[in-house]
Homo-oligomer: A and B are copies of this chain.
């Protein structure tokens, strides 16, 4: 297996017309990429889905860090001006390692911090989080939210985090609107003490996995309209736009003109028909996936 390593010296200098690097353990991060494409029509993206190693949600924190750092170094070596960690499991366990590996000058945006900031600003005090074992096991949402609330002088904040590892496979199978989604979501909530039809347990539910937004309707049907289903991808897209602005890296508006899907690159470490089909569902339209990335064999 030939491994291309990157070093800071081999990187092209950053420019505002460079692409944004974005990665996920698989194709779920395309929900974030889609929100970014909507919010920032002038930006180009280099998306990498680590389909050879997905799902990160079942892996140990050490292994998720190893994979994430290798990918971030690859994206930096490809000249990306910013790195978006569009995977909750990697955001929860690998953000600092990724920042250290790409060094200063390349902003790193994860999918957890922007959502925590959003909830804290809203003063949401009873929050539920559903996610993979890796994300929930890290306790990152609860810890960050409690810190943010304490910093704002608020007490009484309660965050519950529930591992819901079956939801991503169900959504990958295309069953996000299948009748089975409801008893699965209810089953997970019930083991958390939730009783159907009684007072609501939470004010807001964080969909702590990039797959879950596709099943927003099912979550809404189970929880009712009184519980806010937090729209992670659009919140993260806003945070990316803000980070680019802060660093003077926003793409020139002219770059939006006549721009199609071909302005982006979508790479995966293992390419199968299933991933091609899934990509279409997660991005909302057909995506030209190509095999590539740090583990690609030449």
Contacts and interface: CB of A to CB of B under 8 A. Distances in A.
A166 interface: yes
Interface in A168-193: 169-170, 172-173, 175, 178-180, 183-184, 187
A52 B63 contact: yes
B180 A173 contact: no
Interface in A271-293: 271-272, 274
How many chain A residues sit at the interface, stated as a range, is 20 to 34
A60 B133 contact: no
A126 interface: no
Contacts of A53: 52-53
A139 interface: no
Given A53-B53, A166-B175, 12 more contacts: A51-B58, A52-B53, A52-B59, A58-B272, A58-B274, A59-B270, A59-B272, A60-B272, A63-B270, A133-B274, A169-B169, A180-B180
A39 to B, nearest CB: 31
A235 to B, nearest CB: 28
17 contacts: A51-B58, A52-B53, A52-B59, A58-B272, A60-B270, A60-B272, A66-B297, A133-B272, A133-B274, A165-B169, A165-B172, A166-B169, A166-B170, A169-B169, A180-B180, A180-B184, A180-B187
Contact of A183 (B63, B169, B170, B180): B180
Interface of A: 1, 51-54, 58-60, 63, 66, 133, 165-166, 169-170, 172-173, 175, 178-180, 183-184, 187, 270-272, 274, 297
Contacts of A63: 52, 270
Nearest to A63: B270
Contacts of A54: 58
A26 B241 CA distance: 40
